[in-house]
Structure 1
């Protein structure tokens, strides 16, 4: 099969995107009260994770979601800070939670409006990290978007567990159907 033909075919469909958008909301809605109950010192304690603390990791995850959504949906503005400053996006868990809640609604709205044809073709963007334009199939970019979320939520889960907190259920198969 030619590369051109493969790029014209989506490897995911809108139902996958909608399911993952629901999963993202469910996970964040479970994590918010746990994080909000923690002191600022607990939230900013370095746990030896890639971004150090719970708040820094949550900020980076939100930053990445804003960045990818700005590429998928022109109504979403890119983050005002670059990747090097992503961990400081919000100084408090309350401001993070408000922004997280708003963006999760936008992600759900975007996902619910997708058609199969929207997942076909390429996405091109300028990567500051790579210093060049990047092009990948849109469906691959969407898969990456959700995989990035899951990866960093796993880090948050591990930090919560290590700090003696009860981490939320994260298994996709246990997501309530009414979410």
Structure 2
């Protein structure tokens, strides 16, 4: 699999754009609405947003960007932040780290293997770096799709998700 630094930069911009739209969509929404069980894998809008944030931080740790890994495992990931406002602040900070990392990545950095301990598997694994980075961005997109459906179900505005519609000035 050939992965390029340009792809990483594009996906980092896309991630930040999507999260900025979600931040606007949940601004001022009650905790009751954000934590309502929608029958999704991570239950609620906030639970799913927290899981994405937790996963991003875990991958940034494995990529060597973050010194410390996030607390807990997948099951606890849904409670990373207690409110929409707290999530928004942490999300903004993490998106900045992702964009900074993406700006430093060279295509050669995306070759070779990455070895890390997977709590989900309970073992150390080694897998191609390109597959890990692809999964990093795919994981965000997958779970944001679930959030999109929950926002729609709750009668809240759902973000535009098409990459070709991403504003050029959203860097």
- Relative to the length of structure 2, the TM-score reads 0.96
Pick the aligned partner of 2:73 from 82, 93, 112.
82
Pick the aligned partner of 1:45 from 5, 21, 36.
36
Partner Cα separation in structure 2 for residue 22 and residue 142 of structure 1: 14
Query: Is the alpha carbon distance of 1:74 and 1:160 closer, same or farther for their aligned partners in structure 2, counting shifts above 3 Å?
Result: closer
Partner Cα separation in structure 2 for residue 81 and residue 160 of structure 1: 26
Runs of 4+ in 1 over 3 A off after TM superposition: none
Aligned residues: 170
Helix, strand or coil at the partner of 2:58: helix
Partner Cα separation in structure 2 for residue 161 and residue 120 of structure 1: 39
Pick the aligned partner of 1:23 from 10, 14, 18.
14
Task: State the partner residue of 1:167.
Answer: 158
Partner Cα separation in structure 2 for residue 97 and residue 111 of structure 1: 21
The structural deviation recorded for 1:82 is 1.9
Partner Cα separation in structure 1 for residue 81 and residue 66 of structure 2: 21
Pick the aligned partner of 2:2 from 7, 11, 28.
11
Helix, strand or coil at the partner of 2:161: coil
Partner Cα separation in structure 2 for residue 102 and residue 41 of structure 1: 25
Task: State the partner residue of 1:138.
Answer: 129
| Aligned Cα root-mean-square deviation (Å) | 1.0
Helix, strand or coil at the partner of 1:38: coil
The structural deviation recorded for 1:163 is 1.2
Query: Aligned pair 1:153/2:141, yes or no?
Result: no
